[in-house]
């Protein structure tokens, strides 16, 4: 996390009408590398707050960095960039105590600087961000480095078996795939979890927190259109991911309400809205139809018994 402490006051840049943050990192490279990433409203607000907070320190020291501290060691009064490891073990703990942040057992939170990187990656993937995009954001050399943030328990292999066997409602833009899985002649009926896992590995099906994609990111290129699998014709969504898609659609609509311009970012949001809306409405309709059918079958059974 040393790159965070190397942030300079002019780290925000506007590219094609969108705000980006520029910083130098050496986290995963042998040599320092200049990195430019999109910056959302929270990042921009945080940078402005840091600039205001360190204004006097930067003025006194002549240093351009946004993380500065006074070194009182041995009676000196030197302003310098803090040691990030010491900052994490000392000042971060004081911050948690001062703001009454505790874990489930009532103990003050104990987080290192790396935890924030891990938290970002974990929740980004859980929210549906594609692995190759998280990989780029973290500046990883390969997707295999990023895959460690995927908790297999979030999307168990058993779900893959249910999808292939047709035991769970699915949605896809490819109706041929849907009809094959939903038909009585589904060739994957009776597939075991181990068989489904072997099939997944053999065909390079990627398990995502929000569905299944046959376009594996290790091929080195993103999916067509939006690059987050939503536009790929062999992307499958199962009914247990409906809540994830509803939440994503809500967030996209919220972002669109805030951005009424015609930038590339807004165009991407509108595309995601279209694709997310399709999966949400399709899954909702199929789940409702299944419940109605189940209710009719239960009613017929009760009538026969009586």
Sorted by where each begins, the domain ranges of the chain are 2-145, 155-296
What tokens appear for 251 in the block? 């967030």
Task: Give the HSE-up count for residue 237: Cα atoms under 13 Å, Cβ half-sphere.
Answer: 30
Give the per-residue pLDDT at 26.
64
State the residue for tokens 């946004």.
Answer: 66
φ, ψ of residue 212 to 5 degrees: the values are -125, 135
Give the per-residue pLDDT at 88.
63
Computed on alpha carbons and rounded to an integer, the radius of gyration of the chain in Å comes to 25
Alpha helices in the chain (DSSP H): 2-5, 41-53, 55-61, 84-89, 91-98, 113-126, 131-138, 143-146, 157-165, 175-182, 193-203, 242-258, 264-305
Give the per-residue pLDDT at 256.
84
Give the per-residue pLDDT at 280.
93
If we measure between CA atoms, which residue out of 194, 197, 233, 193 comes closest to residue 213?
Answer: 233
Give the per-residue pLDDT at 3.
56
Give the per-residue pLDDT at 278.
92
φ, ψ of residue 187 to 5 degrees: the values are -70, -10
Give the per-residue pLDDT at 144.
53
Q: Which residues pair with 80 in a beta bridge?
A: 69
Give the per-residue pLDDT at 286.
92
Contacts 24+ apart (CB under 8 A), 62-65: 64/8, 64/9, 64/10, 65/5, 65/6, 65/7, 65/8, 65/9
Give the per-residue pLDDT at 153.
44
Tell me the average confidence (pLDDT) per consecutive run of 10 residues in the chain, 306 residues long.
Answer: 70 88 68 79 91 91 86 71 68 79 75 72 72 75 61 61 89 87 88 86 71 61 53 79 84 80 75 88 92 82 71
Residues in the chain: 306
Q: Helix, strand, or coil here: 194?
A: helix
If we measure between CA atoms, which residue out of 236, 224, 242, 210 comes closest to residue 127?
Answer: 210
Give the per-residue pLDDT at 84.
65
Residue 236: how many other CB atoms lie within 10 Å: 25
């Amino acid at each position: 996390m040393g790159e965070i402490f190397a942030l300079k006051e002019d780290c925000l840049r506007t590219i094609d009408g969108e705000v980006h943050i520029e910083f130098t990192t050496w986290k995963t490279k042998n040599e320092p590398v200049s990195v430019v990433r999109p910056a959302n409203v929270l990042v921009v607000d945080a940078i402005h707050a840091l600039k205001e907070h360190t204004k006097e320190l930067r003025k006194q020291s002549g240093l351009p960095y946004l993380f500065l501290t006074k070194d009182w060691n041995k009676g000196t009064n030197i302003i310098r960039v803090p040691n990030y490891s010491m900052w994490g073990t000392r000042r971060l703990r004081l911050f948690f105590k001062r703001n009454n942040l505790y874990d489930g057992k009532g103990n003050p939170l104990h987080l290192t600087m790396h935890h924030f990187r891990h938290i970002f990656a974990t929740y980004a993937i859980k929210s549906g961000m594609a692995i190759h995009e998280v990989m780029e954001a973290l500046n990883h050399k390969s997707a295999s480095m990023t895959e460690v943030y995927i908790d297999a328990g979030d999307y168990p292999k058993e779900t893959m078996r249910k999808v292939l066997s047709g035991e769970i409602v699915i949605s896809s833009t490819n109706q041929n795939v849907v009809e094959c899985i939903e038909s009585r002649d589904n060739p994957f009926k009776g597939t075991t979890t181990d068989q489904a896992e072997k099939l997944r590995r053999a065909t390079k099906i990627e398990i995502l927190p929000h569905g299944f994609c046959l376009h594996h990111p290790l091929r080195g290129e993103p999916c067509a259109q939006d690059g987050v699998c939503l536009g790929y014709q062999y992307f499958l969504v199962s009914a247990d991911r409906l809540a994830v898609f509803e939440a994503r659609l809500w967030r996209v609509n919220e972002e669109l309400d805030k951005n009424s311009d015609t930038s590339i970012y807004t165009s991407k949001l509108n595309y995601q809205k279209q694709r997310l809306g399709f999966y949400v409405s399709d899954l909702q309709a199929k789940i409702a139809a299944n419940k109605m059918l189940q209710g009719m079958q239960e009613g017929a059974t009760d009538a026969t018994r009586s």
